[in-house]
């Protein structure tokens, strides 16, 4: 399949990509639809004293092929995938960006920070290499409603910045790190070592991470029977970080183990469950092989015990969680 992309076709994709970067930002060539109504944070009771808050913060629009490549292009090699994706001109509607707050008896853990209304402004891209800050608005369109900020979402959850004990970043794309500056300046941030390794291309916004001691790297030091090496975030070992590479090579997820069942806060490991089942590949993945391995790991977890995967841009998260917590209370 890889060889099915002929040389002239490769040139075509690269030329289209160059054209996309030379052209205006997505927001200008594909008229923005109205913003969806801002939904307020909702808490789901999971049992064992754990509550999970769904915090919708910001929205993104991406190319259809960014979300998922057509079957016949799913196997293009890693170097050509990005030009192929950029050659596509149909844009999705607004996709929600979810951040998650785990209210655990031991601590508050925030997973990701959502997208910011200031996406695309010089302030937002402060310190980010020019090529990346100029290119970003041509790869995605992103924003948030006025009142849709992390601070507001946390206060709806009855939590202030200072209460957050740890912020785990699944990865450092804009719609996950967008509101990192709204955290308390003492909140530790957990990122994988691989995510921090410099990359030539790719949309990791490492410059938005605070300098110094606050950024900790994930240490997967404990062996887990389902997930391999994990990093526990609670003394009771019921919340832990796992490695789910592919989307970025340093992408990580957070598991909430409820005994009989489990939840995987899976970031952009996929856009939805269907992609995992169908082995469908988004255009945006850094490494296809690792993406497929992560899909395998999520499917194996599902075989071990009932597992709910929550993806950042999945519009069915709330429905899935309602169903899950309903079954939980019956159990
Ligand atoms: Zn994302």
Between the CA of 268 and the centroid of ligand 1 the distance, in Å, is: 5
Considering the entire predicted model, what is its pTM?
0.96
Q: Provide the token pair at 326.
A: 């309903």
| Spacing, Cα 318 to ligand 1 middle (Å) | 17
C-alpha 201 – ligand 1 centre gap (Å): 17
Q: Residue-wise pLDDT tens for the chain (331 aa)?
A: 445 788 999 999 999 999 999 999 999 999 999 998 877 899 999 999 999 999 999 999 999 999 999 999 999 988 899 999 999 999 999 999 999 999 999 999 999 999 999 999 999 999 999 999 999 999 999 999 877 689 889 998 999 989 999 999 999 999 999 999 999 999 999 999 999 987 766 789 999 999 989 999 999 999 999 999 999 999 999 999 999 999 999 999 999 999 999 999 999 999 999 999 999 999 999 999 999 999 999 999 999 999 999 999 999 999 999 999 887 665 5
Alpha carbon of 255 to those of 51, 169, 293: distances in Å?
A: 13, 13, 17
**Ligand 1 centroid, distance to 42 Cα (angstroms):** 20
Distance between Cα 304 and ligand 1 center (Å): 27
CA of 169 to the centre of ligand 1 (A): 11
Task: Please give the pLDDT value at position 4.
Answer: 72
Ligand 1 centre to CA of 69 (Å) is: 16
Separation of CA 176 and ligand 1 centre (Å): 6
Residue 204 CB coordination number (10 Å): 25
What is the 257 CA–ligand 1 centroid distance (Å)?
24
Cα 184–Cα 41–Cα 35 angle in degrees, nearest 5: 100
Report which secondary-structure segment, H or E, holds 145.
Answer: none
**Cα(175)–Cα(96) distance, integer angstroms:** 10
The helix, strand and coil proportions of the chain, stated in percent and rounded to the nearest 5, come to 35, 20, 45
So what's the pLDDT on residue 1?
46
Is-contact 255 233, C-beta < 8 A?
no
| Residues 142, 265: Cα–Cα separation, whole Å | 22
Distance 114 CA to ligand 1 centre (A): 8
State how far the Cα of 79 lies from the Cα of 82, in Å rounded to an integer: 7
- How far is residue 281's CA from residue 292's CA, in Å, rounded to a whole number? 8
Q: Give CA angle at 71 (69, 77), nearest 5°.
A: 65
Domain span including residue 274: 2-330
* Distance in angstroms (rounded) separating the CA atoms of residues 328 and 261: 8
Q: How far is the CA of 204 from the centre of ligand 1 (A)?
A: 11
pLDDT for the residue 201: 67
The answer to whether the beta carbons of residues 46 and 52 sit under 8 Å apart is yes
Closest C-alpha among 302, 305, 246, 251 to residue 277: 302
Give the C-alpha separation, 144 to 39, whole Å: 12
Domain total for the chain? 1
| 3-state secondary structure (DSSP) of residue 46 | strand
Contacts for 148 with CB less than 8 Å, ≥ 6 apart: 38, 56, 57, 58, 117
Query: What is the distance between the alpha carbons of residues 230 and 221, in angstroms, rounded to a whole number?
Result: 6
CATH classification of the domain holding 24: 3.60.15.10
């Amino acid at each position: 399949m890889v060889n099915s992309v002929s040389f002239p076709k490769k040139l075509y994709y690269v030329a289209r990509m160059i054209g996309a970067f030379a052209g205006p930002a997505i927001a200008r060539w594909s008229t923005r639809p109205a913003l969806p109504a801002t939904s307020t944070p909702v808490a789901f009771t999971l049992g064992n004293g754990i509550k999970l808050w769904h915090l919708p913060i910001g929205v993104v629009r991406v190319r259809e092929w960014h979300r998922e490549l057509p079957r016949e292009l799913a196997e293009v090699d890693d170097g050509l995938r990005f030009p192929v994706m950029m050659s596509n001109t149909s844009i999705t509607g607004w996709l929600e960006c979810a951040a998650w707050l785990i209210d655990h008896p031991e601590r508050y853990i925030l997973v990701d920070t959502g997208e910011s209304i200031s996406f695309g402004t010089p302030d937002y891209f402060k310190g980010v290499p020019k090529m990346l800050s100029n290119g970003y608005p041509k790869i995605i369109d992103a924003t948030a409603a006025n009142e849709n900020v992390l601070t507001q979402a946390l206060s709806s959850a009855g939590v202030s910045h200072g209460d957050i004990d740890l912020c785990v970043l699944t990865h450092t794309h804009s719609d996950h790190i967008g509101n990192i500056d709204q955290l308390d300046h003492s909140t530790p941030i957990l990122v994988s070592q691989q995510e921090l390794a410099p990359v030539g291309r790719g949309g990791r916004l490492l410059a938005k991470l605070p300098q110094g001691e606050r950024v900790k790297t994930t240490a997967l030091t404990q062996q887990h029977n389902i997930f391999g090496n994990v990093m526990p975030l609670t003394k009771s070992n019921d919340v832990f970080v796992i490695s789910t590479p592919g989307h970025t090579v340093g992408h990580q997820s957070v598991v909430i183990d409820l005994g009989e069942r489990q939840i995987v806060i899976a970031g952009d490991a996929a856009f939805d469950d269907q992609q995992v089942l169908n082995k469908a590949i988004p255009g945006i993945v850094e490494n296809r092989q690792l993406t497929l391995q992560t899909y395998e790991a999520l499917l194996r977890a599902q075989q071990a015990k009932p597992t709910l995967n929550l993806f950042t841009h999945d519009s069915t998260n709330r429905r899935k969680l309602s169903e899950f917590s309903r079954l939980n209370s019956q159990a």
